[in-house]
Every structure is written in C-alpha cells, then in structure tokens.
Amino acid sequence: MPIHFADLGVPTQLTTVLEREGKLTPFPIQEDTLPDTLAGRDVLGRGKTGSGKTLAFSLPVAARLGAKGGKARPGRPRALILAPTRELATQIDAVIAPLAAAYGMSTTTIFGGVNQRRQENAMARGADIVVACPGRLEDLMKQRIVSLDAVEITVLDEADHMADLGFLPGVTRIMAATPQRGQRLLFSATLDNGVDKLVKRFLDNPITHSVDSADSHVDAMTHHVFHVNGADGKRDVVRALASGTGRRILFMRTKHQAKKLAKQLTADGIPAVDLHGNLAQGARDRNLAAFAEGRAKVLVATDVAARGVHVDGIELVIHVDPPMEHKAYLHRSGRTARAGTSGDVVTLVLPEQRRDTQQLLRKANIKAEPQAVNATSPQVVTLIGEVAPYVKPAPITEQPQRQGGGRGRGRSQGAGGGARRDGQQGSGRGRGRGQSAGADARRGHTGETGHGGRQGGRQDGASSQGGQRRQGSGQGRASQTTRSRHSGGHSSAAAFSAGGRRSR
C-alpha cells in the first residue's frame, strides 16, 4: 500500500491542496522528514537536486504556523526561508503560497534586482512567511523595514549553493538574528564549504535524513557524450537537437553566447529564450514564463539556471559548452529526469575539450561512451524525436505612406517623431527613442539616419522628415541521529509555472 501525506501527519487543510495539485504520494525525502519536521524537531535534509526538498519544508512551515494561529505584525514575519537565487525564491513562494492560503496566511518574496517598494509594502501589511535572498534581506534589516525577532521557523534551502556563492557570512548574521528557540531546517546536497559550521551553530540536536549520496545522479537519466568536428559541425548538431517539440535546455558558458544562440535559433524558426545574469528581473520572469508555458520550447542559459529553475517535462539537457567542474554538470543535468520521469543529457565535445571533459565526467561518476556524430547521425536523430514544424519569423509590416504633421513622440524600436517614410512631407518636431529613428526606421532598419534627420540631433522645418534622435537599445550544532535512505531512480520535481516551482 502506498503511503499518503495524511499518513505522515499532514493536516487535511494541506492534503486537500496537494490533491488539487495532483500530489498524492510523498517522495522519499518528504516521507522521511515530515514526521520530524511536523513535530517541531530541527532537521538536516540531504538530497540531490530534484529530490523534493521544497515541499518537504513547505508543508511543516505552513502546518505548524497555521495550527498555532495568529497573524504576523508589520515588518515581523513568523517564518523565514532563505534561498540563494531570485528564481529559486520565486519558485519556493509559488509552492508555499497555496499551502499558507489554506490557513489564511500570506507570503512574500524579498530579493535584489528589483525596486524594493513592493517588498516594503508587503512587510508593512504583515507577511507571515518570507522567502528571501540574503543580500536584499540584510539591506531591509539595516533599514529597519524587517525584523526577525518573531520568526518561529527558519529554513535554509540549497545551503551548499549559498556557500558556493559566498553568502555564508550574511546567512550567519541573518540566522543569528532569529530567536534561538525557533525551529530550524537546513537542506543541502553537501555539507562542505562551511555548511557543517552552520549546522553545528544553529541546529539543536538535529535529525539528519539523507536521500542518495552527494554526487549521485538519477538512474532514469541517460548520458550521451558526442564528439563533434569543429565549430560548424557543433553548430549543426546544436540546431538539430534543439529542433524537437519537447522542452529542452541548452547550457552555455557565457552570457553573450547564450543570448546570441537564442536569437539564432529563433531566427531559424525554433522559438527560444535566454536566461543569464545580464537580464533584468522582469526579462528573466518573462522568458521563464514563455518556456514554462510552452511558447518557447528551448531555454538557452548560463549556470544561473543550473539550480532553482524547475520546469516539468524537460526531455533534454544539452551541455553546448561543457562546464568547468563536475558539480555544475550534475546540477545542470538535474533539470531533466525529474518527478519520476526519464530524460537525456548530451555533452558536446570539441577535439580540444576531450581530455578535460573526460576528467569532468569521471569526477561526476558518469559513464558514457563517447560517440563521433554529425547532425544526421542516428544518435542525434533519435534524441530529436518529433521535429517541430518550421516557424518562419513574422515579417515587419510596412506602414502606408501618409502625411506627417504636428508633433509626434515615439518610444518603440524604429519610431521617429514626425518622420514617416521616404519622400513624404513632415512638419513640426519629432522625437524618437529606440534603436533607430527616421525614415527607414519603420521598416526595421537600425542605426540609420532619416531624410532631413541628424544623428543625435533635432531638426525643424516644413520640408524635413521631422527631427531625429538615435539612441542605443540598452540603458538599457551537530547531528546525533542519522537516518539514511537511497531513492534509486526516484527523483522529485517540480513544475515551474510563470516563476513558480512545483516540488514534491
């Protein structure tokens, strides 16, 4: 007989929410930890990416606060969940928000890269559960917008990644600001780089639950190593692998190359979006939503997406550029074969990368026989599956000629104030903001100067095309009890929808 969440002590208010979301049976780390976390014990949960840690801590946080009742006072949350990245914080909030709502509680996120006004307002209203990144949270604490003296439960998620990013000093200060009597839960794949010191200092006689070894990988994940012959051969294989109908993530080493490849694929009729550190938060959210909702089947990313981005149904992960170290390989690859599903991982290797990649895979405990391929090789064709129909990029429609007059102002690409088309009369003054302005700008040409217009300048006159301004597009404690369990190929995960993470 399968074990259900109710068997582990999860209250009816929450099992109802879980059933509505199709979450009927717990994954191993949830089954192991819930009896202890629901009882208020400090817990150290160890498990690889995709093992279901988010729901493992979200359920006890919501259940224990909800059972106690009460309401958060302005600026004083009752529970704090720390996460290393904005994307992960957003996705944790998406998992815990409906659980909190079952008890009439509110949640909010706190992270940098966005205006803090919304976060200030949320704290002023009183948020029961705060999901935060360390940097912005410390800023708000220094401004006395947030106080942690009422926190009853503190969760530290992806502690090892916090350490990798150099966040542990801030995390230590934040956790020291929470009441010592509170419950603390720490989840991490490994205990190196100082994570063990956090455990010893802040967790009181914790019970350790371990699901799989730190470097284990999912059995349902099939690894392929493809040797490609030169940059041209690699490009053709990348395009072929990206052309299937299922979701796939392509990992690049640099932000510039990620952006460039996404544009190239889209121009080739393969809808793709990019995700990297140069994108503003709004652009990240839009691109992730497009990928999660299926409007873009391909996500081209740097290692910013190797953790924290959890989307159901990713069939294929492609290491277009092999990572520098084995941990990154495992975390990148962990985007597929989640929630008990299978998936494939491809590493593309140029001749000069073969020795380094062989050492990388050995450290990651990955055994895959290298194969020389091109875009039409059976090994590649098999991974493509059903090829998506070619999507021709939509043409930029030309505007009909018309008389321009008066004063106009444009803020989109190629919009010029009074400027319209070649040969037309314009009068008055025009102002354009965008990649280009002027007569031919409406046809999508960038960086051109319209008739009668002057770069960076403005011109008036009855027979001129209106003034032109051309601008660039950018401004743009130690454990005494240990319980260990291996889950085999059973990996959890998570559905990410419009910035949310569904984790079990």
**CATH code of the domain in which 27 resides:** 3.40.50.300
Q: What torsion, rounded to 10 degrees, do the Cα atoms 211, 217, 221, 225 define?
A: 180
Q: What is the mean pLDDT of residues 75-91?
A: 93
pLDDT of residue 220: 65
Helices (H), 39-149: 53-68, 86-101, 117-125, 134-142
Which residues is 76 bridged to in the sheet? 73
pLDDT of residue 262: 95
**292 within a domain of the structure (yes/no):** yes
The full length of the chain comes to 504
pLDDT band at residue 396 under the 50/70/90 scheme? very low
**240 within a domain of the structure (yes/no):** yes
Three-state DSSP class for residue 247: strand
pLDDT of residue 306: 59
pLDDT of residue 212: 56
Structure tokens given for 449: 């100067």
Is the pLDDT at 156 greater than 50? The verdict is: yes
Is the pLDDT at 191 greater than 80? The verdict is: no
Is the pLDDT at 403 greater than 70? The verdict is: no
Is the pLDDT at 351 greater than 60? The verdict is: yes
Count of structural domains within the chain: 2
Interaxial angle between packed helices 168-176 and 134-142, expressed in degrees from 0 to 180 and rounded to the nearest 10: 50
**247 within a domain of the structure (yes/no):** yes
Least confident range from 4-18, 93-107, 130-144, 388-402: namely 388-402
Q: Are residues 31 and 170 in the same domain?
A: yes
pLDDT of residue 401: 40
Q: Is residue 61 a contact partner of residue 79, using CB atoms and an 8 Å limit? A: yes
Q: Are residues 206 and 245 in the same domain?
A: no
**472 within a domain of the structure (yes/no):** no
Q: Are residues 166 and 239 in the same domain?
A: no
Taking the C-alpha atoms of residue 139 and residue 220, their distance in angstroms, rounded to an integer, is: 43
Which amino acid belongs to residue 504?
A: R
Least confident range from 38-42, 119-123, 368-372, 467-471: namely 467-471
pLDDT band at residue 332 under the 50/70/90 scheme? confident
Q: Are residues 134 and 168 in the same domain?
A: yes
**46 within a domain of the structure (yes/no):** yes
Q: Are residues 230 and 362 in the same domain?
A: yes
Q: Are residues 53 and 96 in the same domain?
A: yes
Out of 384, 402, 424, a domain closes at 384
Q: Are residues 65 and 175 in the same domain?
A: yes
Q: Are residues 259 and 179 in the same domain?
A: no
pLDDT of residue 455: 38
Least confident range from 113-117, 183-187, 219-223, 494-498: namely 494-498
Is the pLDDT at 338 greater than 90? The verdict is: no
Whole-model pTM?
Answer: 0.59
**353 within a domain of the structure (yes/no):** yes
Three-state DSSP class for residue 283: helix
pLDDT of residue 226: 96
**257 within a domain of the structure (yes/no):** yes
Q: Are residues 200 and 132 in the same domain?
A: yes
Out of 184, 212, 240, a domain closes at 212
| Count of C-beta atoms within a 10 Å radius of residue 93 | 24
Q: What is the mean pLDDT of residues 1-20?
A: 93
- Read off the pLDDT of residues 5-14 as tens digits, 9 standing for 90 and up: 999 999 999 9
Q: What is the mean pLDDT of residues 172-190?
A: 93
Q: Are residues 198 and 244 in the same domain?
A: no
Q: Is residue 363 a contact partner of residue 401, using CB atoms and an 8 Å limit? A: no
Q: What torsion, rounded to 10 degrees, do the Cα atoms 337, 338, 339, 343 define?
A: -20
Q: Are residues 25 and 62 in the same domain?
A: yes
Q: Considering only residues 234 and 427, tell me which one the structure prediction assigns the higher pLDDT.
A: 234
**147 within a domain of the structure (yes/no):** yes
Out of 212, 238, 263, a domain closes at 212
Least confident range from 120-129, 224-233, 378-387: namely 378-387
Which residue segment(s) compose the domain that 262 sits in? 221-384
Q: Are residues 257 and 137 in the same domain?
A: no
Is the pLDDT at 150 greater than 70? The verdict is: yes
